[in-house]
Chains A and B, each alone.
Chain A
């Protein structure tokens, strides 16, 4: 990414933070000042879900087309989803304590997101159990696709079929105009940060892979030729 884009990203993030802090406190909440955490909490949760779906799409491409590049993209997406998922959980826990009186309220949406993080954690555990790159890529891609169904259920279905403390602000239009603008600016800025991190992660993974290949080639070159016992074999019939 060029310097111009990074500068634009920095400007967008600064603007998002400024607008969030300048927005009027939400009076209907226990702590109106802290209600602004929604400008960071909700984009993190949405971006985490988006990158999980993207990761599954790249995993499907890995299985259909093959190649380590798709695996690197899928893995990077799932890593980014994990980081933003943890941020969504952390900001949610802070808000939960202030608004509902406990850090963990066993709210269906809170719990379902924790389960999603456990599923993603299992992806990393599975991935780390394979040393061979091709096998690791295939198994990780298959798991990413197999886990898509429970993840979609947990993110989009389960919180909507049970009673939850979370308002569905996106579908029900729960934001007023000012909050909607601030939310969209923050969503765009945080999405930009996530895309930048994703780009960096994919490039790092590609460099790591090249480095490993080069080191393996160098190790092969420095290895001494196999030395064995050579028994003289006579070719003439007189011997």
Chain B
């Protein structure tokens, strides 16, 4: 392979974006699902006068399902369309992982920013510590993106891949939820600033660990 890592990753990222924009149905369906979920959650929380902890939990459950529904598609679609083998010939495993992971990260950050803004608007929840809220949101979205990308790669060649994607990803992601909810609730003012800082640091550490070991685990699966 004569091309460098950077150009391979950039080409893969561009391919992912082009493919998504060309067939917009996946993006539009995910957007519709997420907005509908946010509206339902806001309706439920406004009717019951939900505490900040409950609002944070609801927001992260929606983001968790948004990640599980949308992100593993990056690999599943390759196998469905039979383009996975071409990708194996063309690019190194680490480039494939980074290309897909960066695309998923961008998508997850966009989803997180849009949905959380909409949810705050509809639920009327105020953010007492905006910097910590943004840190938790970014760290949580990055950790979700890294983990779901890896899960998508694990199940891509399985026999019942679409059903398996959620079943495999959810148990791995639920522990993250405990940290993100604690951090976000503290950023809303329901806990101490220290608690939110600890949660944000934990999320960033988790995201870094996932992205650091991801390419190596992915290479082992991709080559097999």
Contacts and interface: CB of A to CB of B under 8 A. Distances in A.
A138 B164 contact: no
A146 B158 CA distance: 17
A126 B175 contact: no
Contacts of B221: 138-139, 142
Given A115-B174, A115-B175, A153-B175, A126 B220 contact: no
A146 B159 contact: no
A146 B157 contact: no
A77 interface: no
Contact of A143 (B168, B170, B216, B224): B168
Contacts of A146: 147, 150, 154, 172, 210, 213, 217
Contacts of A139: 154, 157-158, 221, 224
Interface string A98-110: 0000000000000
A126 B209 contact: no
Nearest to A125: B167
B160 interface: yes
Interface string A126-163: 10011100110111011101110110011000100100
Nearest to A123: B168
Contacts of A147: 172
Classify the interface of chain A: helix, strand, loop or mixed: helix
A126 B224 contact: no
A219 B98 CA distance: 44
A150 B175 contact: yes
Looking at chain A, what size class is its interface with the partner chain? 20 to 34
B168 A118 contact: no
Contact of A122 (B159, B167, B176, B213): B167
A129 B217 contact: no
Contacts of B87: none
Interface residues of B, number: 31
Interface string A56-95: 0000000100000000000000000000000000000000
Interface centre among B172, B209, B218 (most CB of A within 10 A): B172
A126 B168 contact: yes
Interface string A161-181: 100000000000000000000
B157 A126 contact: no
Contacts of A10: none
Contacts of B150: 146
Contact of B171 (A118, A145, A149): A118
Interface string A3-29: 000000000000000000000000000
B37 to A, nearest CB: 22
Contacts of B103: none
Contacts of B175: 112, 115, 150, 153-154, 158
Interface string B116-144: 00000000000000000000000000000
Contacts of B164: 125-126, 129
Contacts of B75: none
B168 A125 contact: yes
Given A125-B164, A126-B164, A129-B159, A119 B171 contact: yes
B206 interface: yes
B178 interface: yes
B172 A119 contact: yes
B155 interface: yes
A153 B216 CA distance: 21
B168 A122 contact: yes
Nearest to A132: B224
A97 B216 CA distance: 45
A137 to B, nearest CB: 8
A121 interface: yes
13 contacts: A118-B174, A122-B172, A126-B164, A126-B168, A135-B157, A135-B224, A138-B220, A139-B158, A147-B172, A150-B172, A150-B176, A154-B175, A161-B198
Interface of B: 147, 150, 154-155, 157-161, 164, 167-168, 170-172, 174-176, 178, 198, 206, 209-210, 213, 216-218, 220-221, 223-224
Given A131-B159, A142-B154, 9 more contacts: A118-B170, A118-B174, A121-B171, A122-B172, A134-B224, A145-B213, A147-B172, A153-B175, A161-B198
